[in-house]
Amino acid sequence: MKERTQRVLTRFLTVNTCLTCEDLSKEFHVSERTFRNELVLINKYLAENNYPSLTTTRGKGMKLELSEVDREKLLSKIGEDREIDYYRPNERFLALLLDIVDTTKTTMLFQMEEKLQVSKSTLDEDMRRLRQFLKEYGISVVSLTKQGIVLKGDERSIRSMLYDVINSMTDIDYLMGYRDIDTVVNTFSDQFVLDYLDTNVLRIIGEHYDNILEKSRVEINHVYRNQSILFLGIWVRRLQEGNTLSELAKVRAEIKEEPVRKFVDSICMEFGLYPSLNEIKYTTFTIESFNPKDMNNSFDWVTAQLLAIQLIEHVEKVTRIPFSQKEEDLYEGLYKHITGLLSRAKNDLQVFNPLKNTIKDSYAEIYQAITCFRKQIEDYIKKPLSEDEIGFLTVYFSTSASQIKQKEQYVYQAVVLCNHGISTGKLLAANLKEQFNIEIVAVLSSYELAFIEKLDVDLVFTTISIDYPKKPVLLLNPILRESDKKEIKDFLLKNKDKKRTVSNTVDATNLMQDILALIVESGGKVTQESYQKVEKTFKEHHLKINTREIQPMLQDILRDSNILLKQECKDWKEAITKAAQLLVTEEVIEERYIDAMIKSVEEYGAYIVVGKHLALAHARPEDGVNKLGISVMTLKEPVNFGNPDNDPVKIVFCLAAVDSYSHLNVMKNLIELINDEEKLDQLIASRDVNVFNQVLYGSEVAELGKQQI
């Protein structure tokens, strides 16, 4: 039995539900026609071994009806029945690569001909393919007299190459022990990798991962866990063979005694490894990028926030799904993942997503929306964004969409036009609402046709033939028949863009914000005590409040005393210092925060120039922030920061944030400003603080500001 046929049969043996030909053809990446041929071979094999054939249930799919005992017997048998007369091209490729990369033995081509059971010409073609593949990683294949065939290239490139190949050519869940050996077909590719990396080594690394990181309360993601273990399995093997990083390949990140560092140290102790500090830094930083969290450098910190906010706004606009309603959870997930993504990009490490094709098919609209945003991310990482990463980002949005769907319902607002009497019309309206979630705004007679345009409706259902080009119209029987129901489904599908979102639960956050604003507008003052009383009252009336959404806007924290206009600065360092000194005076930040901001630009470049002529100076909260604050300064003469796309800088904001979330609204305000060149020009030209505020905060008063500038 061929390998794919084995895998398909194993799939049926390991589930008790029906599987459809359409779904399985996508899962195995073949056409439905090819897959049906596989089913013929499976039924033939089952008949030859005295087992019942696959049964088909209309509307559900196919299923293999067997007892648990027969399932176990058949699983053990099919593993022995594979045709092993020769290896397939991909299997030869992997076997050849792993033999060459193993520096504990000598690889000779004439020996590989015998081992792989191929002719010299076939092996020559395999070597040509291998050389072409390795060229993309900057790795070459050379032949040495005593060492045989060996790889020549940077050690990090060799490790990354091995990691990519193993991920793409094997079942990583099986390698890591997530699939029982008795319930999966063990392929030659899987076995080649297990022979190279050693099952026991992977198991031990996995145990250390779970014990140390779980006890440290580090959030463990199944996919990231497997990626980390595979990476470390390759790392251990390469170190054991004496293949280490060049000391010239410096790793910038400073490492602290945190869970991931302890995990890496435990692996070294377990296998008796004594790597250099450079190796420890490289490996620790890589594992941290697999398990993304709030990273330690300022570059990733704010860049990830900017990208997360912009991505949410973009995907919401394209898909029309109200992601802002679940923003706090979605933002945190995206922010952490993008932080890891930026770290991986800097280390030339690609994360592998085994579900990317399924994600792409299942959530096509969201996937495509993120794909359209990829250039913004690529501008930061300076390399292509992989489909694997797009798949991971899609998961965060699809999860959020699912949560929204549980709390929201999509409805159509419609009118019913019936000439058979109000009662019949109401019956039709009730059926439409019950069976299709259509909200009927009104039931009208034929004489009231003119009223339709006065109603807030999207669709018209009528029992009489009418000519009404302003809205989509469907002619129905007053008492719905099965044929009518099918027509309604098709009609709604064609007009799916007319759907509206209606909440099943009341989020009173905006209501509370409006009440607090009214208190201030009426001459009152919102104190901590009064705020707590309002919050308590809402809770007593069972009104849901998202306290994380009640965050200050830019106008809430930018004081007039923190605005400097038309200042002279000789260079970017002085510009940062002068803008930040305002916050030092008010004890928002400490002096060392200024040093941290300058050091960050020196180390990572002018990444703080986030928009045309606009710099957002910042460092980490732990670098000396006492409370949330912001200052702004415009420059009399522009200053170059070293950003070729956005220099020269004409306006500098200095942000002091206490965490990664509480200043989210401030970041949104700044993003809006970055995208509004006209407003930005007005701010830069302002000579008066009052005019500056009018331009910054209001559309109506902005017009007044224009006249005064």
Burial (CB count <10 Å: 0-12, 13-18, 19+), residue 188:
middle
Of 401, 414, 536, which is closest to residue 468 (Cα–Cα)?
A: 414
Q: Is the Cβ–Cβ distance between 578 and 564 less than 8 Å?
A: yes
Burial (CB count <10 Å: 0-12, 13-18, 19+), residue 47:
exposed
Of 176, 87, 49, 33, which is closest to residue 9 (Cα–Cα)?
A: 49
Q: How far apart are CA 110 and CA 123, in angstroms?
A: 9
Q: Is the Cβ–Cβ distance between 449 and 466 less than 8 Å?
A: yes
Please give the single-letter amino acid code of residue 273. Answer: L
Number of neighbouring beta carbons within 10 Å of residue 135: 12
Active-site pick, 208, 337, 613, 618: 618
Q: How far apart are CA 457 and CA 472, in angstroms?
A: 10
Of 247, 333, 252, 257, which is closest to residue 299 (Cα–Cα)?
A: 252
Burial (CB count <10 Å: 0-12, 13-18, 19+), residue 109:
middle
**H or E stretch covering 629:** strand 629-639
Burial (CB count <10 Å: 0-12, 13-18, 19+), residue 353:
buried
Task: Compute the Cα dihedral for 261, 265, 268, 274 and give only its sign.
Answer: positive
Contacts of 626 (CB under 8 A, 6+ apart): 587, 588, 589, 590, 656
Provide the edge-to-edge strand list for the sheet that holds 629-639.
Answer: 563-567, 629-639, 649-656, 614-617
Q: How far apart are CA 444 and CA 426, in angstroms?
A: 10
Q: How far apart are CA 704 and CA 571, in angstroms?
A: 33
208 is catalytic: no
Q: Which residues are catalytic?
A: 618
